[in-house]
Amino acid sequence: MNDLLTISQIRKNESEAFERIYILYRDEFCLWLRKRTALTLEESKEIYQLSMVILYENIRDGKLTNLTSTLKTYLFSIGLNKARDFKKSREKYNANLDPLNLQLFTEDVSQEELEGKFQVIEKCLEQLGRPCKEILIDFYYFKFNMKDIAQRFGYKNPDSAKNQKAKCIKKLKVLVFNQLQHVA
């Protein structure tokens, strides 16, 4: 396969060229990425799709006109970078996900125990009410920053919102701790 010809075909919006590349490298990419990064098959497939979108956009937008490597190497390097970004964001997400210090993500926790803890947290979040529930969801789930939260809830500044979030976490910890004591 002539990589420059393929790039030219993709730029001309010839979908067969893009589909050919997609099918040609998919399985090899997923296997290669899983060996290098220890991602799941589903995660590697998602990263492959994202990498293909980036490849397509780079060709379409004229960012990729000359290759110093093969198209495969270019595609795989995009994938490796995206996998690194994904792993970093997942580690950060997992660290942020456990503000209650319940050690939700330890290997010795069964799926049932984990689901039970999540149910307790959900129940306690409901008990918190407004604005605590919304502040915590905005911060930990939607990843809003304190400035945005301050504006949304009418706090004077991000520090005031941060103080409120800390109070909400404290309330939630007490509720969760009490609830888990009754379950145990």
Amino acid at 128: L
157 alpha carbon, distance to own chain's centre? 28
Give the pLDDT confidence score for residue 2 in this predicted structure: 80
Residue in this structure with the two tokens 């319940």, named with its chain if needed: 102
User: Spelled out in words, what is the top-level CATH class assigned to the domain 98-183?
Assistant: mainly alpha
Mean pLDDT rounded to a whole number for the chain: 85
Grade residue 13 by pLDDT with cuts at 50, 70 and 90. confident
Give the pLDDT confidence score for residue 40 in this predicted structure: 86
> What letter does residue 142 receive in the DSSP assignment?
S
Mean pLDDT of 90-98: 57
Buried/exposed code over 13-39 (b: 16+ C-beta within 10 A; e: otherwise): eeeebbeebbeebeeebbeebbeebeb
3-93 CATH: 1.10.1740.10
Rounded CA separation 119/134 (Å): 17
The answer to whether the beta carbons of residues 100 and 169 sit under 8 Å apart is yes
Domain borders along the chain are: 3-93, 98-183
Grade residue 12 by pLDDT with cuts at 50, 70 and 90. confident
Is the N-terminal amide bond of 99 cis, ω within 30° of 0? no
Q: What is the dihedral of CA 15, 17, 21, 22, to 10 degrees?
A: 10
Grade residue 134 by pLDDT with cuts at 50, 70 and 90. very high
Rounded CA separation 132/147 (Å): 16
- Considering only CA atoms, which of 102, 106, 98, 123 is closest in space to residue 177? 102
Give the pLDDT confidence score for residue 109 in this predicted structure: 59
Mean pLDDT of 109-120: 76
Name the residue with higher pLDDT: 44 or 6: 44
**Same fold across 3-93 and 98-183:** no
Whole-prediction pTM = 0.52
Mean pLDDT of 88-93: 65
Instruction: Name the phi and psi angles at 156, rounded to 5.
Output: -60, -40
Asked if pLDDT for residue 120 goes beyond 60, the answer is yes
